[in-house]
Amino acid sequence: MMPEPSILLVLALVLPVAGLLLALVAGGRHAGRIALLLTPVGLAVAAAIAVGVVRADEALVYHLGGWAPPLGVALRADGLSAILLLTTAAIIGATGWFARAEFRPAPGQVEGRASLAFWTLLLALWGALNLVFLGNDLFTLFVALELLTFSAVPLVCLDGRAGTIEAALRYLLFALFGSVLYLLGVVLLYGAYGTLDIGLLSDLIQREPIALAAAALMTVGLLAKTALFPLHLWLPPAHAGAPAAASAVLSALVVKASLFLIVRLWFDVMPELMNPTAAQVLGALGAAAILFGGVLALRQARLKMLIAYSTVAQIGYLFLVFPLITRPESVPLAAADLGAELVAISVSTSAWSGGVLQAVSHAFAKAAMFLAAGLIAQRLGHDRIADLGGIGRALPITVLAFGLAGMSLMGLPPSGGFAAKWLLLMATIETGQWWWSLVILGGGLLTGGYLFRVLAPVLAGASEPVTLHAPVARYRELVVLALALCSVLLGFVRLGAFDLVQIGRLTTAGMGLP
């Protein structure tokens, strides 16, 4: 007998936490097995939540302890949450299988700290991400953000080297700066409205100074955690020395959590405050990230740093959704003699679907690219782009996976990245904002440029004999290829399937929009 769909929300949180506790008790030799056994179960739970949302055609809600807000705390899964829960479970599972060879003590070898630390942190990060996607209370979301931060930061410096510790401390500084600003905004909202439940706040908040101040503080704090230009300074150094598996989850998933909360903030908590000016500012920051990140990626000498700056650029596309979702429309007031106009906000389905598809396809593509870079560095002993000649013959599957993932990032058909960028381009036409299409196309050209810098030496061959180091297990290459294929095959998914993201949207329900 299937459990009630709303109970699945609790199970999605309990699974990684239970795995974390079991891993701490069992030790590093068994922590990996526990994590790998739980990931398919977690994927099944996420799929069941998505099915439950589709069947109910509304968000699934669970009141902890049976107490409804404002006395209690609710968990809530709408269409967007369901999609991101599925993406998270899939990428965490694939990353875990990839990392199995690296973070598994060999028989007879003394158990090291890195193995236990990696698996427990990976499980903690998975649980924190699920809480971000399911939380329906601003303070619960703050707790989830902090759990995510303190799970992600140690992954950057697992090797204990001075350089990685410095990068982790910089990441921690930006994350704590963002947390303080977010918490200040939460305090202002609680003092003004007496509740932090998203559904209740959306009915109470009005366009007034205290709400605007809270929105500004929380948005800047979340932008710092998302690494949006110009608050991106922590991200490239964090990736430079982190293990490939850590970079994969940081780039594919962790930065999406704070972006998800920005969407929640502006379209669920404060729809009354969203206006075309704020949307254009966020879009301008996204455009700057696309161009700045692409240019800096072209200048990198190391493969991991190139992929890291590519992440800075690709994050920018997600912020173009804000101006493309919101469009000013002239709506006459009921009392015509006032001689004024209201500014309505129209919702572009193309922008919503394109933004979600971009987030998901980017997650799979970027995870594949970082894991591919890790295999290349393991085989060659370095990741210098100029000296990658000959690796195409040594690791053909890995290079193929890297190229497929890059194809999705560029937006070449028939990849998921192409479908996402096509939908965003359609949204620029629908909303009459043609200038964003120039940014999207220019970003694609820059992406093609820095990918060519990598693939040209790889496919050209080596000018002198290449010294190959540690061999690479075939199953690890297949994991990378599977992730890259997911980013491409998303382009074949019927675009109507992404209408799932519209289910449970508080904004459209509250504003009477389709």
Instruction: Tell how far CA 452 is from the center of its chain.
Output: 25
pLDDT in tens, 113-170: 777 888 899 999 999 999 999 988 899 999 999 999 999 988 888 877 888 888 889 8
Collect all residues with Cβ–Cβ distance below 8 Å to 134 and sequence separation of at least 6: 9, 12, 13, 75, 76, 77, 81, 85
User: Residue 216 CA to chain centroid, in angstroms?
Assistant: 22
Hunting for tokens 């970082």 — which residue is that? 370
Contacts (Cβ under 8 Å, ≥6 apart) of 261: 132, 141, 145, 222
pLDDT at 507 over 60: no
Q: Tokens for 344, please give them.
A: 């309505």
The predicted structure's pLDDT at residue 404: 92
Which residue stretches of 227-264 are H helix?
235-240, 244-249, 255-264
For 292-340, strand residue ranges (E) read 328-332
- How sure is the predictor about 466, in pLDDT bands with cuts at 50, 70 and 90? low
% of residues, the chain, pLDDT over 90: 27
Question: Please, is 117 exposed, middle or buried when counting C-beta atoms within 10 Å of its C-beta (0-12, 13-18, 19+)?
Answer: middle
Asked which of 179-183, 244-248, 382-386, 482-486 is least confident by mean pLDDT, the reply is: 382-386
What DSSP letter does each residue of 147-176 carry, written as one string?
A: HHHHHHHHHHTTT--HHHHHHHHHHHHHHH
Predicted confidence at residue 110, as pLDDT, reads 58
Is residue 338 very low, low, confident or very high in pLDDT (cuts 50, 70, 90)? very low
Q: Which residue has the tokens 């829960």?
A: 85
Are the C-beta atoms of residues 436 and 326 closer than 8 Å to each other? no
Q: Could you give the count of Cα atoms lying within 13 Å of 308 in the half-sphere of its Cβ? A: 24
Q: Within the chain, how many helices (H) and strands (E) appear?
A: 21, 4
Question: Helices 416-430 and 474-489: crossing angle, nearest 10°?
Answer: 20
pLDDT at 92: 94
Instruction: Identify the pLDDT of residue 337.
Output: 37
Question: Based on C-alpha coordinates, what's the Rg of the chain?
Answer: 22
Lookup: tokens for 391: 């690796």
Tell me the per-residue pLDDT of 103-120, one tens digit each, with 9 for 90 and over: 776 655 556 677 788 889
pTM of the model: 0.89
Average pLDDT over residues 6-17: 88
Residue 325 — pLDDT band, cuts 50, 70, 90? Answer: confident
Q: What is the pLDDT of residue 457?
A: 82
What's the pLDDT tens digit per position in 356-409?
A: 888 999 999 999 999 998 888 888 877 788 878 777 787 888 889 999 999 898
**Could you report the per-residue pLDDT of 185-218, keeping only the tens digit for each?**
999 998 888 888 888 888 888 888 898 899 899 9
What pLDDT was estimated at residue 108?
Answer: 57
CA distance 213 to 311: 29
Tell me the percentage of the chain whose pLDDT exceeds 70.
88
Query: Using omega within 30 degrees of 0 as the cis cutoff, is the peptide bond preceding 209 cis?
Result: no
Q: Mean pLDDT of all residues in the chain?
A: 83
Comparing CA positions, the residue from 513, 514, 507, 512 lying closest to residue 59 is 507
For 468-472, what is the mean pLDDT? 72
**Local confidence band at 74 (pLDDT 50, 70, 90 cut-offs):** confident
Tokens, residue 97: 């299988």
Question: Which of the residue ranges 47-61, 267-281, 341-355, 432-446 would you say has the lowest mean pLDDT?
Answer: 341-355
Six token digits for residue 343: 């500014």
pLDDT in tens, 297-312: 988 888 888 998 999 9
Cα-Cα-Cα-Cα dihedral sign, residues 119, 122, 126, 131:
positive
Hey, what long-range contacts does 472-477 have (CB within 8 A, 24 or more apart)? 472/375, 472/378, 472/379, 472/395, 472/398, 473/101, 474/397, 475/97, 476/98, 476/101, 476/371, 476/375, 477/375, 477/395, 477/397, 477/398, 477/401
